[in-house]
């Protein structure tokens, strides 16, 4: 097991993330533009007309970067952002205030077993959250299927893999698992039809990131 990626209980995992973002929230937007690639691209690929009245959920919405992109791209959408870190949600609240009450932010963990969004969502976005949610990421994928309408789409932008052990160890110190496991899980899931799939190199191949969109059958 790499450092930072141990088999934690859900409670321990959520606490680890909350502690991590106490400081990281303060430098998040200043730093993440330089390595969280694919976020603009995945929002552009979401296969709904721009004027669609759709319900979108972002799991792990952080400081609200994607919520702003989504709100601009889909001006009639209602967008819910969930995040387990109060520090991140506080920033997201300020950053998305101008979009008014079509944005709904919830501070709390996205978890298996919730009935809150049962088949209500047209789009569920996971952007750089799932590689940090270990080992519960696969339970969250199951939950997303419960929360999506039939014909709704799940969208992913995240780290994919790296051929460099030093880099994987560095990322695991930041609680990120990079094993190509997310794309494999989506592709193996017969409840989704793949709509869009791309793996791209970052910084001449130090790591690869993945973008995926699947439609719930
Ligand atoms: C790397 S940030 C990504 C933020 C944003 N999606 C983006 O692309 O900039 C990961 C976020 O996921 C949140 N997170 C981790 N586990 C979570 C869970 N179980 N439920 C909701 N949010 C979670 C973290 O608090 C953090 O804000």
DSSP state of 102: G
pTM reported for the whole predicted model: 0.96
pLDDT in tens, 41-74: 999 999 999 999 999 999 999 999 999 999 999 9
Q: What is the CATH number of domain 10-216?
A: 3.40.50.150
If one residue of 20, 83, 96 were mutated to test the ligand 1 pocket, choosing by the most ligand atoms within 8 A of its CB, it would be 83
> Read out DSSP for 127-172?
ES-GGGSTTTHHHHHHHHHHHEEEEEEEEEEEEEE-S-HHHHHHHH
Map out the domains of the chain as residue ranges. 10-216
> Residue 7's pLDDT is what?
77
Q: How many angstroms separate the alpha carbon of residue 184 from the centre of ligand 1?
A: 21
Instruction: Give yes or no for residue 159 having a pLDDT over 80.
Output: yes
Of all protein residues, whose CA lies closest to atom 11 belonging to ligand 1?
60
Q: How many CB atoms lie within 10 A of CB 164?
A: 13
pLDDT in tens, 82-93: 999 999 999 999
Q: How many angstroms separate the alpha carbon of residue 26 from the centre of ligand 1?
A: 14
Give the pLDDT band (50/70/90) at residue 1.
Answer: low
Spell out the residues 6+ positions from residue 159 whose beta carbon is closer than 8 angstroms to its own. Answer: 128, 131, 171, 176, 178, 207, 208, 209, 210
DSSP state of 64: S
CA distance 160 to 195: 18
């Amino acid at each position: 097991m790499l450092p930072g990626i141990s088999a934690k209980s859900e409670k321990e995992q959520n606490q680890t993330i909350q502690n991590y973002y106490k400081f990281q929230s303060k430098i998040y937007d200043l730093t993440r533009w330089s390595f969280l690639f694919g976020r603009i691209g995945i929002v552009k690929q979401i296969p709904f007309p721009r004027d669609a009245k759709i319900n979108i959920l972002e799991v792990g919405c952080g400081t609200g970067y994607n919520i702003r992109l989504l709100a601009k791209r889909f001006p009639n959408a209602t967008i819910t952002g969930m995040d387990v870190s109060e520090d991140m949600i506080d920033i997201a609240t300020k950053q998305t205030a101008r979009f008014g009450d079509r944005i709904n932010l919830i501070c709390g963990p996205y978890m298996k077993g919730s009935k809150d969004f049962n088949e209500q969502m047209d789009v569920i976005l996971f952007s750089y959250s799932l590689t940090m949610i270990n080992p519960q990421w696969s339970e969250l994928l199951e939950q997303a299927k419960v929360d999506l309408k039939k014909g709704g789409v799940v969208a992913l932008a995240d780290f994919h893999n790296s051929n460099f052990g030093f880099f994987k160890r560095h990322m695991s110190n930041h609680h990120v698992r990079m094993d190509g496991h997310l794309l494999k899980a989506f592709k193996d899931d017969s409840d989704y039809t793949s709509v869009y799939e791309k793996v791209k190199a970052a910084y001449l191949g130090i790591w690869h990131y993945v973008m995926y969109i699947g439609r719930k059958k």
